Amino acid sequence: MRHVGYRTNKYTRGLLPDGGTLVPILLASDETHVTNFSGDKMLWPVYMSIGNILSSIRNTPMMYAWIPIAFLPIGPKRVNKIPAYSVDMQEIQALQTIHDVLTHVLKPLSDEECQNGYEMVCRDGNFRLCFPKLVCWLADHMENATLYGIASNHCPTCIIPTDKLGEYSGSGYLTHSHKDYIAACDKSDASSLNANGVKNFKNTL
C-alpha cells in the first residue's frame, strides 16, 4: 500500500475525487476466554474486513475475509488495598490504555492520515485511489460499553434514562456527543460526564 499525494480536502467534506474508491472498513472485537479449564486466561482480538466483499463470502469462515489486526491489552484485576490508588482510578487508567492502543492502531484511518487516499492494488490487478473509512464496529453490549467508555447500564447510542431502556423511544433522545465529552473531560467536568453515564477518560473512537 503506497500513499498518494492527492492534494485535495474533498474527503474531509465527505466527497471523493474523480476515480476515487470508498473502502468501508468493518471492525469486530470480543474479549474471549482461551480456555475454561486452566485459569482465567483471555485474549482480546480486533478483526477487520471491508464492505467491498460480498457478505456471502465474508460470512464464510474458510474465506478468511476477517483478519486479526491487533490484540487489546487486558488490565489486571483491581486491587482495593493500594493507598491513594482507588479501584475507580485503576479502571479509568486501564480503559485509557485500551484507547491509547486503539489510537495507534486506527491512526491510518483518521481523516488527517487518509484524506489524500492510498493507491492500492485491487483484485483485478488494477491500481485505484482508495479512501478507507471506518463505518461500523461489531460488538455485543458489554463490548460497546467498554469501547465507548460508558456505564454498562447506559445506551451506547443515545442519552436515554436507564429506567427507559428497552422501551421504544423513536428519535426522542439525543445521541452521545463525542466533542462535548472531550470538552467536558478537558475541563474536568465529571458531573456532566457522569450524568450521561460516560467515564472520565479520553475516548479515541
Condensed to tens digits (0 to 9), the pLDDT of residues 65-79 reads 999 999 999 888 788
**What's the whole-number mean pLDDT along residues 43-68?**
92
Inform me whether the pLDDT recorded for 169 exceeds 70.
no
Confidence band, pLDDT 50/70/90 cuts, at residue 89: confident
**What's the whole-number mean pLDDT along residues 43-52?**
93
Instruction: State the DSSP H helix or E strand holding residue 113, giving kind and residue range, or none if neither.
Output: helix 111-114
> What is the rounded average pLDDT for all residues in the chain?
82
Predicted local distance difference test score (pLDDT) of residue 201? 78
In whole angstroms, what is the distance from residue 14 CA to residue 62 CA? Answer: 35
Inform me whether the pLDDT recorded for 83 exceeds 50.
yes
Among 3-12, 61-70, 168-177, the range with the most confident prediction by mean pLDDT is 61-70
Q: Count CB atoms within 10 A of the CB of residue 5.
A: 6
Confidence band, pLDDT 50/70/90 cuts, at residue 197: confident
The torsion of the CA quartet 56, 53, 133, 185, rounded to 10 degrees, works out to: 30
Residues 6+ apart with CB under 8 A from 199: 91, 92, 95, 149, 150, 151, 193
Radius of gyration for the chain, computed over Cα atoms and rounded to the nearest angstrom = 20
Confidence band, pLDDT 50/70/90 cuts, at residue 193: confident
Residue with cell 479509568: 92
In whole angstroms, what is the distance from residue 150 CA to residue 166 CA? Answer: 17
Confidence band, pLDDT 50/70/90 cuts, at residue 2: very low
In whole angstroms, what is the distance from residue 31 CA to residue 200 CA? Answer: 22
**E strand segments, the chain:** 2-3, 20-29, 32-33, 42-43, 45-50, 67-71, 118-121, 127-138
Angstrom CA distances, 85 to 18, 70, 96, 200, stand at 55, 29, 15, 16
Phi-psi region of 14 (alpha: psi -120 to 50; beta: other; left: phi over 0): left
